[in-house]
Every structure is written in C-alpha cells, then in structure tokens.
C-alpha cells in the first residue's frame, strides 16, 4: 500500500488509515478488523482518549502490541471526562495534557505515542500554553510528533504559524469541500499534512448511499439534493468506478492529504475501502467532473 510522508516528520503513513472509533467494544471483532488492516498494509491507526471513555485505546494497544514498532498510533487529548463520566468538557491546558498523556500511554500499553493530537480547539484557547505542553512531551520522548484535529481556519492558521505541528485532521470529502477554500492553502504554505476524516461522509459516498440519506440532509445539501446528486454521480462513473473509490481517490488527489482515515465496523466494510484505494488515481477529467457536480462550499464561521 502507498505511504506518504506526514508533514515535515519522518512518519510514512498508509494512504488509508483505520479510524478506530467505530470498532466498538467487542475485542475479538476489533482484533479481526485490525489484523485485516495490517495484512493489507495499513500502518496508521487513529484513536482518542474520549472514545468509549478510554476503552478504545486499551483495545487498540492490545491489538497492536505484537507489531508496535511497525505501526503509527495516533491518539487525541483535550476532551476531559467529568468525575462521574456523565459527560466531558474542553480542557486544553498544559497541566491536563501532561497528565492525560500518562493515562493514554498506560491504556495503549506503550511508552511513546507517534502522533498526539489536540481534539478540537478554539481561537480563545491559550494556544501558546498548549503548544508548550506538546513541545515538552516531544522533548521528553513521550510523543514523537503532534498535530491538531480541527476544521476552524482561524485556529489552524494560528497553530501553523506558532507551532511545529506536522498534521491537521479535518473533515474533507466530495460533500464537504470547505477545506479547499482557506485551510488547505495555509497548510501547503507551512508543509503541514492533512489527515482527512469523514471521506465517505457518513456512508453517503459509499455504495449504500441511498440508505444513508436522512431528512436532515448533509451540511448545506438538502435530502432532496442528495437524492438527485448521488445517483447522478454513480451513473456518470458507473462503468469504471465504485462510489467508495471515487470518494477516497478524490480526497487523496489533493497533494496536501497524507491519509484518509475511514472507520470500519466490519471486515467487509474495511475490505471495500482497501479495494477502493487500490484503484488507479482519478484522471484530470474525472476530477473536473466531480468538482462540477459538487459544491465548492466554504466555512461560515471561524474564518480568517
């Protein structure tokens, strides 16, 4: 499987990563999915301390223990569970980050994290303090590199200018092309990679798209628009491409994207995505047609 350099780091990540949030709490089932991922050449696994109140990290750590030196484990911090676990609140403070990383390391069963990501962020945060925490953890050898998970251009710009982050995880797909307007150009300028989440738009860009359309629509697409658009895309490319392939290859065609992180709750679902990224890249004509069919939307808030 193709691997791409993550920003200015020395990490080479598989072009499709496994988003582990959807693995669930069945350890045996999760292990089966992870083994298929490993056998297919996937080396990038993304989790967070928030998922299943840390249990996801435990499952991932155990499942990858036998190949730890061969894989890249990414996890996240910033959403702090309340004492009674009735919910969580935002805490990007240096004190919390340096305490939370110890717990993540323990759950993952490792002495280092390859990519430690801030799980959100606002422009009102004490950004310099957060960066200081990540830099100290890097100096201590606890983390190898750090990044953020954000869709806010003003936050992304601030971190790009002030930090040594190597990546930004952001939602990006054929149905959510907002990063193309501001965020991606900022990252290109600073040599920072995009890790794309939601490339299949909650299944709307998979072969099962008709079953995934809700009355709420998706972002600025109404349900009526989706019922016209998605079958049209399918029809235009039916002879040569699956919906999964169109969707993943569209995102990967952007040179700033290092990896598409797609979740999988079953082995067949993962295998479908692996087949999709095994197809040839989209041609210029295919890319242009997809851009014409979809909206080049932008963020209404958190602009620069």
> How close are the terminal C-alpha atoms of the chain, in Å?
37
Say which residue the tokens 């950004």 belong to: 127
77's enclosing H/E stretch is: strand 72-77
Both tokens assigned to 243: 């919906």
Please tell me the distance from the alpha carbon of residue 32 to that of residue 38, in angstroms, as a whole number. Answer: 10
Q: How far apart are CA 178 and CA 170, in angstroms?
A: 10
CA–CA separation, 74 and 270 (whole Å): 19
Give the pair of three-digit tokens for residue 52. 């299943």
The two structure tokens encoding residue 90:
């935002």
DSSP SS3 for 194: strand
Contact between residue 71 and residue 41 where contact means Cβ atoms under 8 Å apart: no
**Reduced to 3 states, what is the DSSP secondary structure of residue 147?**
strand
In DSSP terms, 100 is beta-bridged to none
Q: Which residues are catalytic?
A: 51
């Amino acid at each position: 499987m193709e691997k791409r350099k993550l920003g200015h780091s020395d990490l080479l990540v598989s072009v499709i990563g496994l988003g582990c949030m959807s693995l669930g709490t069945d350890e045996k089932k999760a292990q089966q999915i992870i083994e298929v991922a490993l056998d297919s050449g996937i080396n990038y696994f993304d989790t967070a301390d928030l998922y299943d109140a840390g249990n996801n990290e435990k499952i991932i750590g155990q499942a990858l223990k036998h190949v730890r030196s061969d894989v890249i484990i990414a996890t996240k911090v910033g959403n702090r569970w309340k004492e009674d676990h009735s919910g969580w609140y935002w805490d990007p403070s240096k004190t919390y980050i340096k305490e939370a990383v110890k717990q993540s390391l323990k759950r993952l069963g490792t002495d280092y994290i390859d990519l430690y990501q801030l799980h959100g962020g606002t422009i009102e945060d004490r950004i310099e303090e957060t960066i200081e925490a990540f830099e100290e953890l890097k100096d201590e050898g606890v983390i190898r590199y750090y990044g953020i998970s954000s869709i806010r251009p003003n936050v992304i710009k601030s971190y790009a200018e002030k930090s040594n982050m190597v990546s930004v995880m952001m939602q990006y797909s054929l149905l959510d092309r907002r990063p193309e307007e501001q965020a991606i150009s900022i990252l290109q300028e600073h040599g920072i990679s995009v890790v794309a989440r939601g490339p299949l738009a909650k299944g709307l860009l998979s072969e099962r798209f008709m079953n995934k359309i809700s009355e709420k629509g998706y972002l600025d697409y109404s349900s009526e628009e989706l019922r016209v658009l998605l079958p049209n895309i399918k029809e235009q490319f039916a002879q040569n491409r699956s919906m999964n392939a169109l969707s993943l290859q569209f995102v990967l065609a952007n040179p700033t994207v290092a990896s598409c992180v797609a979740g999988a709750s079953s082995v067949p679902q993962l295998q479908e995505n692996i087949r999709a990224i095994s197809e040839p890249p989209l041609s210029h004509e295919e890319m242009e047609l997809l851009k014409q069919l979809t909206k080049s939307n932008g963020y209404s808030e958190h602009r620069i």
